[in-house]
Chain A
């Protein structure tokens, strides 16, 4: 992507640094602390999720109204809206089983590596394996569908 603004990648890196620092500081990079929330021993996680969502919420509300276009891409400011279908419930439930079993989610797993938790490589290996399995299955289902549609 040679036509990208020269500050695009540096900004992504800075955003990631702040994001990762926050996951470390909030202890979300520690599976034990997430499991303590899910087992009702420490409800602190609620403050992490809502603390972050309030910051993004205010920004996502104001930026499209007050600012023109994003300076580094020229893109419109839009909210993150995805269409609802059955997959949100099915995928959400499967994710819930995994999150409840392991106490770790993708962003927190990357941060966990950064705080020295080498053991989290088990979870990262699992996440890549899971993402690969669903991607292979859905790619094949999609191409089978288009073959059927083409034959009609």
Chain B
């Protein structure tokens, strides 16, 4: 008799998978950053790992400046990989079920020894070429989605807010153009 109120229809259109998995996941990302910050005073970003790890194999001065932090950055990245694996073993595998988690339909799920894993359908050339641009851009631009987006925005840094607005606009334009050219997925 009564249609859904307009705000609800709008919300369903903007957020077809709800918002809980995003908001809760985001809180965890923030919490992980905060745990490290409260113990060490370090606002950790994810992309410096690329250069600090290159210092193990290259003597270039640009990488050598990260020698003192390269060991813990390796541990941080290892933690991220294992944390995501823990998510696979629990929520993604259905061991923990909650109405706050929408499983979604993207990519391919596959099973390995009772563990539900996931694989992308996005074409490898997009990942490789995009990855090269990401590697160059985050290092020249002084941060990525975690360094600028989470730590920098959390610091109310004008530099980071400008960085986020810049990469957001360019990424939206790029993704829309690529999609308009018929590249999918």
Contact = CB atoms under 8 A, between A and B. Distances in A.
A in complex with B? yes
Interface of A: 1, 7-9, 11-33, 35-36, 38-57, 59-60, 63, 67, 69-73, 75-84, 87-120, 122-136, 138-139, 142-143
Given A79-B156, A80-B151, A103-B175, A114 B80 contact: yes
Q: Is the interface of A mostly helix, strand, loop or mixed?
A: helix
Contacts of B124: 119, 122
B122 A102 contact: yes
B5 interface: no
Interface in B27-45: 27-45
Contacts of B97: none
A130 B83 contact: no
Most chain B CB within a 10 A radius of its CB, from A82, A92, A143: A92
A78 B178 CA distance: 40
Instruction: Report which residue of A26, A32, A40, A133 has the largest number of chain B beta carbons within 10 angstroms of its beta carbon.
Output: A26
A134 B134 CA distance: 11
Q: Interface size bucket, B side?
A: 35 or more
Q: For chain B, what secondary structure do more than half of its interface residues adopt (helix, strand, loop), or is it mixed?
A: helix
A110 to B, nearest CB: 4
A68 B68 CA distance: 24
The 7 closest A-B pairs by CB, nearest first: A16-B79, A26-B25, A126-B131, A91-B141, A130-B135, A102-B130, A116-B117
A118 B118 CA distance: 9
Contacts of A96: 137, 166-171, 173-174
Given A49-B149, A70-B37, 20 more contacts: A12-B36, A18-B32, A20-B82, A21-B83, A33-B104, A44-B15, A49-B145, A52-B27, A81-B159, A94-B133, A94-B137, A100-B130, A105-B47, A105-B144, A106-B49, A106-B134, A110-B84, A114-B86, A116-B112, A135-B62
B172 interface: yes
Interface in B145-167: 145-160, 162-164, 166-167
Given A96-B171, A126-B128, A134-B139, A105 B145 contact: yes
B43 to A, nearest CB: 4
A125 to B, nearest CB: 7
Contact of A60 (B39, B154, B174): B154
B166 A89 contact: yes
B76 A113 contact: no
A58 B178 CA distance: 37
B175 A39 contact: yes
Contacts of B50: 106, 127-128, 131
